[in-house]
Structure 1
Amino acid sequence: MTKSQIKIWLDADVGNDDAFAILLAIFNPRFKLLGISTVHGNAPTEMTTHNTLVVLDLLNVHDIKVYRGEENPLFVEPTYALNVHGKFGIGGIHIPETTKNQVEEGENYLQAMYKAICENEGEICIVSTGTLTNIAKLIEKYPDVVDKIKYLSIMGGSFGFGNITPFAEFNFHTDPHAIQFVLKKFKQSKIILSPLNLTHKVIATEQIRNDFYNELNPKKNSKLRESFFDILMFYSLTYKKENDMSLGPPLHDPIAVYSLLPFMDNNFKEYGYIFTKKKLNVEINDNERLGECIYINEDDEDYNQEGVNIGENLDTHKFWRSLLNCLHSADINVNKGSNFPEL
């Protein structure tokens, strides 16, 4: 039986791993990407917006509308991760000054998101791979979206450690008030969370990197494949330097896209997906622990039913195979008429 497409809107601070989230959202046939809104995070919004256009150009995709989102967190000062993602927000590839794709100017990102949600009520899923500022603003302006969105899939948060402080993950730390607002106003049982505890299990090992770019068999390579390999290698080197990980970098953001599949199919075994449900809050008062995830109301009788769906594990082989298939499809799209060997 053919599985239906999953309609998604991507809200992203496009840096190195966000590029792979875009690849997956466009070239996995299970997804129908309705639009992209950009936000501050890995880099200033001006950069994350431009990087989104660069990635779409690289993929030879020109029918996805891109909207520029918020430039600053709700209350705290902006924080960027240029030390990890490079001085332009994506490292490893040339970032041209101009792109064929252009930002939409006719309506702002909130209007565009709300329109897409209303037109696809009960079906659309929002995927957030950056700070939650845009999502908080959306819910604040249009509170009825809480009932219209099928799932909100978030890459963010961590439990027991962090990657910007010992307590917090970058996205949650960068705008903790936004994620706190989302957790309070959105139905937690409709949130799918991909924390560092999950994404750090999805490692781009040397074998995976070789699958992306085969130096021993040039016929399997292409300019596109080389570009994504260079992005991955830059991320690998900087992430290893920052986190002392010898195996390779985790690839955080595409996990938030991929994690929709077991929920929408209601088949967790197929994807080797394991999760738990916990009610969450986020620390916003203690500067040292800003953005830390906090379990709440553990004695509540609805604790396991109403909490956030927190990813703990998945079939990593199946995930990487899906991503590599997307790269293969993107190759064909960029080089229409060329013959590429099957993976």
Structure 2
Amino acid sequence: MAEKLLLVDVDCGVDDAQAIMMALAQPTVQILGITCCHGNTAIDNVCKNVLRVLKLCNESKIPVYRGAASSFLGENVGMADYHGSDGLGGVPDPEAPALDCIQEEHAVTAMIRIVSEHIGKVSLVATGPLTNLALAVKMDPTFPQKLKGLYIMGGNMESRGNTSVCGEFNFSVDPEAAYIVLNEYSCPTYIATWEYTCRHKLSWEFYNDLVNQDTAKAKFMKKISAHSLKFSQSEQGIKELVSGSGFVPCDSFAMAAAVDNSIVKEYIECGVSVELSGKLCRGMMIMDYLDLLQKKHKAFVMKTCDIEKFKTLLRTALK
């Protein structure tokens, strides 16, 4: 059995695909299952996209489960076209696996079962809205205690938004789910926020070298990234970043930390929560630096990254 056991929950857009490929490329990592959630695109597209990535990587044996199709309150913050009409750049593959390859078991019950079969050994990596995770803890309050750790891409450190004024996309899509997870998960929790990913943006020169490797995986990534690349280099795309233009593979930062914990050089340890009220701040992650919330469980919010190690993981993913 591999050294690191992962369960991966995704809303499979381009950056989720990249994160999945990163984990699959590591011989010390075994993905026990991939659960799908609404977010970057509709749930059926998410499922199809995961199957497509697994086929490309010759890993179709990994089970894929269909999960939540909408947020707790059913609100629609807008499935942004950033990842294209289907979540993978709007460049479908007519030979991609069909939805009948999805497991019959629901994603949430699969999560509970898989983790219960490997108590204390599985790390859960969540790169989309946290709806499935919130449902899991409501169905089984002991679920978080059975995890080795939780790695989240989402939230923000300084109220910088990319979907609303103060809200990061994954948390803004389902604020109630994010609130439940940050307040009810007692396992070690590691968070790659929007600002963390932006502050470790990579150069476009690196991106070009990455996707121009002469491999099927690199060609696939270049093809599905073309749509979002145009927005990333636009005036609005640059405005959303913390400082200046660059390549920001958001979800891969959370996955990298789960794959190799030495990637993150520095954390901020403090209580965190999510704002559920207000016109401007709904969905914003709260960092309780003053410990006024008196939370026993503190999260580890990523602060600095070993960028060279991170680049190596990205390159290996596309070889």
Does TM-score exceed 0.5, indicating one fold? Answer: yes
- Could you tell me whether the CA contact under 8 Å between 2:123 and 2:150 is conserved in 1? yes
Count of residue pairs brought into register by the alignment: 313
C-alpha separation in 2, matches of 1:19 and 1:308: 26
Q: Which amino acid aligns with 1:279?
A: G
Q: Is 1:287 aligned to 2:282, yes or no? A: no
- Residue 237 of structure 1 aligns to which amino acid in structure 2? K
Do the aligned partners of residues 261 and 18 (structure 1) sit closer, same or farther apart at CA in structure 2, a change above 3 Å counting? closer
CA offsets per residue over residues 14-47 of structure 1, 9 Å max, x none?
A: 0010011110121112321110010011111111
**SS of match in other structure, 2:76:** coil
| Aligned-partner Cα distance in 1 for 2:40–2:8 | 15
Classify 1:80/1:48 alpha carbon distance in 2 versus 1 (closer, same or farther; 3 Å): farther
Distance 1:309 1:76, change over 3 A: same
Q: Write the mapping of 1:31-180 to structure 2, written as runs, cut at 5 A.
A: 31-91=29-89, 93-96=91-94, 98-99=96-97, 102-160=100-158, 161-180=160-179
Partners of 1:13 and 1:148 lie apart in 2 by 23
CA distance, structure 1, for counterparts of residue 100 and residue 304 of structure 2: 37
User: Post-superposition shift, 1:166?
Assistant: 2.1
Offset at 1:101?
Answer: 7.6
Q: 2:309 aligns with which of 301, 309, 318?
A: 318
Matches within 5 A, 1:225-240: 225-240=218-233
What RMSD over aligned residues (CA atoms) do the two structures have, in Å? Answer: 2.3
1:259 alignment counterpart: 257
- TM-superposed CA distance for 1:197, in Å, is 1.5
Distance 2:78 2:202 in 1: 23
Deviation per CA, 1:129-181: give whole Å up to 9, x if none. Answer: 00000000001001111210011110000122111112110000110000101
**Counterparts of 1:40 and 1:95, CA distance in 2:** 21
The match for 2:196 is: 198
TM-score by length of 2: 0.90
Q: Which deviates more, 222-231 or 61-70?
A: 222-231
Corresponding residue for 1:338? none
Q: What's the TM-score once normalised by structure 1's chain length?
A: 0.84
Higher mean alpha-carbon deviation, 157-166 vs 12-21, is at 157-166
Q: Cα distance, 1:90 vs. partner?
A: 1.2
CA offset at residue 92 of structure 1? 6.0
**Structure-2 change in CA distance of 1:54 and 1:69 (3 Å):** same
Shift, 1:298, TM fit:
2.1
Question: Relative to structure 1, is the Cα distance of residues 323 and 92 closer, same or farther in structure 2, using a 3 angstrom cutoff?
Answer: farther
The answer to whether the 8 Å contact 1:121/1:149 transfers is yes
Distance 2:297 2:251 in 1: 25
Contact 1:57 1:101 in 2 (8 A): no
**Pairing 1:22–2:20 present:** yes
- Per-residue deviation at 1:191? 0.9
- The DSSP-based 3-state class of the residue aligned with 1:235 is helix
Deviations 1:200-239 (A, max 9, x none): 133242221232244xxxxx51333211122334322222
C-alpha distance 301-133 of structure 1, shift in aligned 2 (>3 A):
closer
2:207–2:247 contact (8 Å) kept in structure 1 = no
| Identity percentage of aligned residues | 27
- Cα distance in 2 between the residues matched to 1:295 and 1:201: 18
| Structure 2 gap segments, 5+ residues each | none
What is aligned with 1:248? 246
Deviations 1:246-305 (A, max 9, x none): 633310001111112454xxxx4xx352111111111111132111111347246976x7
Relative distance call for 1:100 and 1:61 in structure 2 (3 A) is farther
Larger Rg: 1
TM superposition shift of 1:323: 1.7
Contact 1:280 1:295 in 2 (8 A): yes
Classify the secondary structure of the residue corresponding to 1:313. strand
| Secondary structure at the counterpart of residue 259 of structure 1 | helix
Aligned partners of 1:209 and 1:179: how far apart in 2?
31
Residue type of the alignment partner of 2:318: L
- Structure 1 pair 31–102 and aligned structure 2 pair: CA distance change class (3 A): farther
Q: Is the 8 A contact 1:236 1:248 kept in 2?
A: no
SS at match of 2:157: coil
State the SS of the aligned residue for 1:306: coil
- What per-residue deviation string (whole Å, max 9, x for no partner) do you get for residues 59-112 of structure 1? 232111100000110114133434211111111633437516854343221221
Amino acid at match of 1:277: E
Alignment correspondent of 2:297: 306
